[in-house]
Amino acid sequence: MRDGSQIVNGIFVALVLIPQLYVLTRPKSSRFCQQPLLNNLTACIALSFMATGFAVTFTLIDPVPQSFKAAYHGFGLVSFGQGLCTIVLTLKAKQCVETTPELYYLSLVLSLCCILTTVFVLVKGGVWIVTHRLP
């Protein structure tokens, strides 16, 4: 079963990191943009590598230590904050579509992913509260 999990992890890593690294290496991405979208992309890539590490570790360790779970939740909060920054920077960077189109559109996609992930976590958390915490 772990081999299957590692294959799924590999697919998700490819789907997440390859577009980010592609846009990072594009010559147009280094052009001037009023908002620091390139810096934001670099932070997103770093967090993507960290998420990959957590995913691989979760598939290899059983049972997962409590300290690792706490670190993962802290990472989740940092990722949420990064997602909010991505949304705000993207909303303020409409002029950047002219100078750095790939970077701007990737920021739009990352913003949408953050919104969808937040909705998913809120719904899942709400269902968990209703089923496990309410009498």
For 84-115, what is each residue's pLDDT tens digit?
999 999 999 999 999 999 999 999 999 999 99
Whole-prediction pTM: 0.86
pLDDT at 20 over 90: yes
Which residue in 52, 57, 54, 60 sits closest to 2, CA to CA?
60
pLDDT at 123 over 90: yes
Question: Which residues 6+ apart lie within 8 Å of 69 measured at CB?
Answer: none
What would the pLDDT profile of 5-18 be if each residue is shown by its tens digit?
778 888 988 898 99
What would the pLDDT profile of 63-77 be if each residue is shown by its tens digit?
889 999 999 999 999
Domain extent at residue 71:
2-133
Residue 118: burial class (beta carbons within 10 Å; 0-12, 13-18, 19+): middle
What total of structural domains would you count in the chain?
A: 1
